[in-house]
């Protein structure tokens, strides 16, 4: 079928590069809340059903200027060994050399190059590093919500989906023609710093 959020397994590292100190000062900075953020994957199983799972350990940060549509950034890091498909033997296989090879590639990362947010829709482009391969990707996300939390903080949350080809990242284990692509779901909640 379609999307595998296994790409979500990818760990993402946030790198901010801004030209002036005044531009930096205008940015709101958020730390990703690992207890409320995750990456999911969805991939067809033999063309008969869909396998879904998630990466449980996600860290990173993002920034934005609420007064401007452009100028923010996001960096996400995923610990590939945190893959969880709700089946211990399958998870062991996913962590092995046929798929994620977590001993050799313990992290997956996404670093944005450009973000444009308008009317709650966010166009994101950047570099995804998965299984030791870095490729440019682009996807759309949406603002889920923003506001104060019960503990005196302020939060923003986003959700997006990215489709990738497994073979583009060196993961070519034969799962049949229906499973060449997978969808990664990115569910990110940040706490304002």
CATH number at residue 121: 2.40.128.110
Q: What is the mean pLDDT of residues 22-38?
A: 84
Across the range 118-138, mean pLDDT stands at 95
Give mean pLDDT, residues 146-159: 97
CB 108 within 8 A of CB 129: yes
Q: Provide the residue range defining the domain that includes 149.
A: 5-192
- Inform me whether the pLDDT recorded for 75 exceeds 70: yes
What's the pLDDT score for residue 120?
Answer: 81
Q: What's the total number of domains in the chain?
A: 1
**Mean pLDDT, to the nearest integer, of 29-50?**
94
Q: What percent of the chain has pLDDT over 70?
A: 87
Which pLDDT value is given to residue 176? Answer: 86
pLDDT, tens digit (0-9, with 9 covering 90-100), for 9-25: 333 323 333 333 444 45
């Amino acid at each position: 079928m379609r999307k595998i959020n296994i790409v979500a397994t990818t760990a993402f590292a946030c790198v901010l590069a801004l030209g002036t100190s005044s531009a930096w000062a205008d940015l709101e900075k958020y730390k990703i809340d690992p207890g409320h953020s995750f990456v999911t994957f969805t991939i067809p199983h033999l063309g008969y059903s869909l396998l879904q799972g998630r990466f449980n350990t996600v860290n990173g940060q993002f920034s934005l200027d609420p007064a401007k549509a452009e100028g923010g950034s996001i960096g996400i890091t995923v610990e590939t060994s945190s893959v969880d498909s709700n089946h211990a033997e399958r998870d062991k296989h996913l962590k092995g050399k046929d798929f994620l090879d977590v001993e050799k590639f313990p992290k997956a990362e996404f670093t944005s190059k450009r973000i444009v947010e308008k009317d709650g829709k966010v166009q994101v482009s950047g570099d995804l590093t998965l299984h030791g391969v870095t490729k440019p990707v682009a996807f759309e996300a949406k603002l889920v919500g923003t506001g104060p939390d019960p503990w005196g903080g302020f939060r923003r949350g986003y959700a997006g989906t990215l489709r990738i080809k497994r073979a583009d990242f060196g993961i070519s284990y034969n799962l049949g023609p229906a499973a060449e692509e997978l969808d990664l779901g990115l569910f990110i909640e940040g706490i304002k710093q």
